[in-house]
A = this chain, B = another copy of it.
Amino acid sequence: MTMDMTFLGTGSAYPSPHRGASALVLRTDGECWLFDCGEGTQTQLMKSQLKAGRITKVFISHLHGDHLFGLPGLLCTVSLNTNPDPQQKLNCVEIYGPRGLRHFLRVTLGLTGSQLLFPYAVHELEPTTDQSPEEGQLSLEATAESGPLHPQEQLGRTISLDISTDSYLLFEDKKFVVKAFRLFHRIPSFGFCVQELDRPGRLKIEVLKELGLKPGPMYGRLKAGESVTLESGRVVEPIEVLEEAIPGRKVCILGDCSSVVSEESLRLCRGADILVHEATLSDENREKAVDHGHSTPTMAAAVAQACCARRLVLYHFSQRYKPCSMQREGDEDNVSELKRQAEEALQGSGVEVTLAEDFLTLPIPLRR
């Protein structure tokens, strides 16, 4: 199964002609999962090789506008470009994000008279009080949705912190387990951990032949982890005929933060193939960054190192940092310097550092 990640917006605070507001797509087998959706994401999608109509799930890390203001428009445009085939029941777009997101969508879609051709559901994460300073916490009253559901809205779940794992279980299916974890920011913010499940190794054809097993349903049962009994009465265990399991990949995408709330989050992200972490400002501006609930490259590096990530991808750069391609000699704020700072902090650790740019696509190869 191919898997890759495309950055649609790598700027902080607001979109600019040089850097879109926060949005990235994780793609697996043609299905697109969108992480954050700042204003202009739909236009960035049009400029990319991705298809907005393939978005099946949306994850919103926190409710700041530069991560959210593009969502109502994106849903409307996907709907406008959907073929209204009455024979075909369209899948529900599953949307995950902090408490208040349901209200936000119901009001923005409702007041604008926006009808969608597909259903959507908003699954809300209940923040805890240690995710933000008190002034950043919205009251239950302010975030509670009111009135009837939007005509295309299906009632989503409310997901509370699972104390035993210190994480939020968003969903699990045959391929993935996706969890969220708590970050500290000016308002409640979350990170997402996408864990692909391990898959059985390839069948050892030579061994199967020796056992006298011919291609057929028994191959499938063995691959699925079941033992089978031959006519001779011999029981064949999967471990005898399967190569080593293919370990699942792990992708961790953190929203805006100056820190993770708990050690358990680092454990959850342990061994991530890719850890996407913000680096809004350079190390020289650490105090300002932390004041605003943000991180510097060295802070991001510390998280990557603590969870032994293979690769750290920096994004969410202050708009003062122009993309490398626009950088001119002598420019004061150089985005390459952010990479250098993270690399310096990670020297000898083996963690690779990548600077995200709008439209950068990173393949996430299978672990062999």
Instruction: Verify if A201 is at the interface (C-beta below 8 Å from B).
Output: no
How far is B46's CA from A220's CA once the two chains are assembled, in angstroms? Answer: 58
Which one of A107-115, A192-200, A222-230, A331-339 is at the interface? A107-115
B141 contacts A147, C-beta separation under 8 Å: yes
A17 contacts B39, C-beta separation under 8 Å: no
Instruction: Verify if A255 is at the interface (C-beta below 8 Å from B).
Output: no
Instruction: Verify if A286 is at the interface (C-beta below 8 Å from B).
Output: no
Partner of A112, one of B16, B64, B141, B146: B64
Number of chain A residues whose Cβ lies closer than 8 Å to a Cβ of chain B: 43
Query: In this complex, what residue of B is CB-closest to A141?
Result: B147
B111 contacts A14, C-beta separation under 8 Å: no
A46 and B16 in contact, given A107-B103, A142-B147, A147-B141 (Cβ under 8 angstroms) = yes
A104 contacts B113, C-beta separation under 8 Å: no
Instruction: Verify if A7 is at the interface (C-beta below 8 Å from B).
Output: no
How far is B76's CA from A21's CA once the two chains are assembled, in angstroms? Answer: 13
How far is B46's CA from A199's CA once the two chains are assembled, in angstroms? Answer: 49
Chain B residues positioned under 8 Å from A65 (CB to CB): 72-73, 76, 108, 112, 114
Contacts A/B (CB < 8 Å), 22 sampled:
A13-B77, A14-B76, A14-B77, A15-B43, A16-B43, A39-B43, A40-B40, A63-B113, A64-B113, A65-B72, A65-B76, A66-B73, A66-B76, A68-B112, A69-B69, A69-B73, A104-B111, A107-B108, A111-B138, A111-B142, A113-B136, A142-B147
